[in-house]
Structure 1
Amino acid sequence: MRRGPSTLNCVIGVDKPAGMTSHDVVGRLRHVLGERRIGHAGTLDPAATGVLVIGIGQGTRLLGLLGADGKSYDALIRFGSETTTDDAEGDVVRTAEVPSELGQETFARSLLSSFEGRLMQVPPAYSAVFVDGRRAYDIARSGGEVRLEPRPVTVRSARLIAIEPFEESGAAPQGGALCWRCHFDVSKGTYIRSLARDIGRRAHSAAQLAGLRRTSSGRVTLADCLTLEVLEREGRVAVEGRLLDPTHLLGAPIYALSDERATEAAAGRRIKAPEYVSEGKRVCLIHKGGLVGVWRRVGSTLCCDVNFPQAIEGVRPR
């Protein structure tokens, strides 16, 4: 595994399979690609699948700039019980009847729409939220009581896809339990597990998240993603064929630098701002087809937010 400068500097999307942590995916990629500097943005629970944004080399330094983006999910909500983790991985802590109206599409759509907009959400006890300097899941696993404060989140869309009976391992429906298949567009920091729990409570029942697939993370969709099978089979060839455009991910205008300006920018010197960049806004500095910096307009000049000593690949002409 390389210890010097990375020979890949990029961002890719991976379709995370079920049964792996996000860190497991990173570890697998380090082995497959022979690169140590690999990271991910937006952790997915082990049971969840879908879009996981991966930074390689200098691309890892870009991940923190993507953190404000929203996410989309396809979710399966099972009614009838709540668990310690708010999903199927935990122990059942409460059961409840499943009212007949939960099987009615009109009722389901109305209830889901009541969650749209800005709301205060209590994260799951088994989450990565810090409580007095410790992760909530560490406290919960050690048997301690987790007290989490509600946090503001935004549900841009909560849409019903289908209502169906609950089935487990091909067995018949259990006790009349049913599931809602839903699609959610949410802000950063929104827990779909908490949404499932709260939907059950508002329906005068109980619910847990029985399945989750992330369909987008910021500007990255499932169509942009590689599977681990393809990555393990084709390695660097697969990566080089599916690079994500870092300027598109940032949603910022680009400024192509001359060799002279590129030298000034690499040294961190302020450079004259182009007219199309508004005050306080970011701009992507491009040199020889790669992203070499993300700068911000202050007055009449551009100031450095971050430079990339090795250019991030994948920039496409606009």
Structure 2
Amino acid sequence: MSAPRTDRPAPPPRRPTAPDGLLVVDKPAGWTSHDVVGRVRRLAGTRKVGHAGTLDPMATGVLVLGVGRATKLLTYVVGADKEYRATVRLGVTTTTDDAEGEVVARADASGVVRAALDAEVARLTGDILQAPSAVSAIKVDGKRAYARVRAGEQVELAARPVTVSRFDVHDARTVAPGTAGLPDDVPAALDLDVTVVCSSGTYVRALARDLGAALGVGGHLTALRRTRVGGYALEGAVTLEEAEAQADRDEVLATVPLADAARATFPVRDLTDAESVALSYGQWVAASGAAGTTAAMAPDGTLVALVEDTRRGGADLARPVLVLAPA
């Protein structure tokens, strides 16, 4: 039996555990959302890290992560509306509806006129039914759709209602063969720079696919940058390098405190001391008078709970749906 090795390098010391809160990261291209979670777990000194809403590896921009107790807030952040800047290439269809897939069809898109483009964009704005991309993370019989596609299966996902609040085309430019990554021997394409604001569950690459199909030339997404998730914008995001530098400098990773994180996502209700105690025990209190979820704050500014108004015993009351400061 060989002797155990003694020359292995010592593992790096574990970092101090970061305080409960959110971290808004500017995700780099080529990273999966899970990659970012893994990196932040090391920076935060805890495995209790999650994210609110997956970004594809090719996409960049706002990825909201929860650390510690803030992971419980992510369920509510996921449902917030999102804003994207994107580039759509008309005239090229791919297997994944984005630039990472194989090209399956080409068509000359140089003849697409602006009036027709604007009409189809308008049809894709508002409350619509959208079939997600086949390579999405949606589960089909317990298995991710993209895994089934990679295994050679044909996957067709049912259309679902989504809301596209904005679909603005800022620029449209013809891409000649041999330029901007287009081969020399193919038809001309048309690139669109767009802004999309949409509900949770909307696929921007599916918008590119459907726009191209409606115009008869096909389409896919060549660039995607998420600029906002609910109240968390790109201006408040940090790169992973910046987060690591800050954690090294201050010896602990900084996070957005629970109360500040909630204020950026929900309407706020100020509690009395008695209401704070009641909610900390999971008891119901007087109604907030606001639709949806409300952040209930103690007099000292602490986030006590998230509450929702409901009817009980003939009276309107606020019930705690998530208690963050238990008794």
Asked if Structure 1 and Structure 2 have the same fold, meaning a TM-score greater than 0.5 normalized by the shorter chain, the answer is yes
Out of 106, 117, 130, the residue aligned to residue 139 of structure 2 is 130
1:108-167 CA distances to partner (integer Å, 9 max, x unpaired)?
A: 333322311122111111011122222111110110111211111111111111123444
Q: Does 1:302 align with 2:318?
A: yes
Q: Which residue of 1 aligns with 2:268?
A: 253
Out of 16, 29, 32, the residue aligned to residue 27 of structure 2 is 16
**SS of corresponding position for 2:71:** helix
1:157-197 CA distances to partner (integer Å, 9 max, x unpaired)?
A: 11111123444469989643231111111111111111101
Q: Which residue of 1 aligns with 2:254?
A: 240
Distance 2:304 2:152 in 1: 48
CA shift, 1:84, in A, is: 1.0
Contact map agreement 1:165 1:179 (CA 8 A) in 2:
yes
Distance 1:121 1:246 in 2: 31
Residues 222 and 138 (structure 1), Cα distance of their counterparts in 2 relative to 1, 3 Å cut = same
Distance 2:231 2:195 in 1: 17
Aligned residue identity for 2:193: R
Out of 50, 65, 75, the residue aligned to residue 64 of structure 1 is 75
**Higher Rg of the two aligned structures:** 2
Q: Which residue of 2 aligns with 1:268?
A: 282
Distance 1:294 1:147 in 2: 37
Map 1:1-318 onto structure 2 (within 5 A): 7-101=18-112, 104-166=113-175, 167-168=179-180, 175-235=187-247, 237=250, 240=254, 245-258=260-273, 261-271=275-285, 273=286, 277-278=288-289, 281-287=292-298, 288-298=300-310, 299=315, 301-309=317-325
Aligned residue identity for 1:123: P
1:225-275 CA distances to partner (integer Å, 9 max, x unpaired)?
A: 1111210111285953755822323322222342x544433222333x26x
CA shift, 1:215, in A, is: 1.1
Distance 1:50 1:34 in 2: 24
- Structure 2, unaligned stretches of length 5 or more? 1-12
Distance 1:170 1:93 in 2: 14
CA shift, 1:41, in A, is: 0.4
Aligned residue identity for 2:94: T
**SS of corresponding position for 1:62:** helix
Contact map agreement 1:66 1:249 (CA 8 A) in 2:
no
Aligned residue identity for 2:280: A
Distance 2:269 2:48 in 1: 26
CA shift, 1:220, in A, is: 1.3
Contact map agreement 1:82 1:95 (CA 8 A) in 2:
yes
Moved more, 129-138 or 18-27: 129-138
Distance 2:181 2:89 in 1: 15
**SS of corresponding position for 1:223:** helix
Residues 64 and 107 (structure 1), Cα distance of their counterparts in 2 relative to 1, 3 Å cut = same
Aligned residue identity for 1:202: A
Identical-pair percentage = 35
Residues 188 and 289 (structure 1), Cα distance of their counterparts in 2 relative to 1, 3 Å cut = same
TM-score by length of 2: 0.83
Distance 2:271 2:90 in 1: 54
Q: Which residue of 1 aligns with 2:8?
A: none
Question: Aligned residues, how many?
Answer: 304
CA shift, 1:3, in A, is: 11
**SS of corresponding position for 1:155:** strand
CA shift, 1:67, in A, is: 2.9
Residues 173 and 261 (structure 1), Cα distance of their counterparts in 2 relative to 1, 3 Å cut = farther
1:61-107 CA distances to partner (integer Å, 9 max, x unpaired)?
A: 00102232211111111122211111110111222222423xx5444
Distance 1:186 1:280 in 2: 20
TM-score by length of 1: 0.85
CA shift, 1:31, in A, is: 1.1
Residues 108 and 61 (structure 1), Cα distance of their counterparts in 2 relative to 1, 3 Å cut = same
Residues 219 and 239 (structure 1), Cα distance of their counterparts in 2 relative to 1, 3 Å cut = farther
Distance 1:116 1:291 in 2: 36
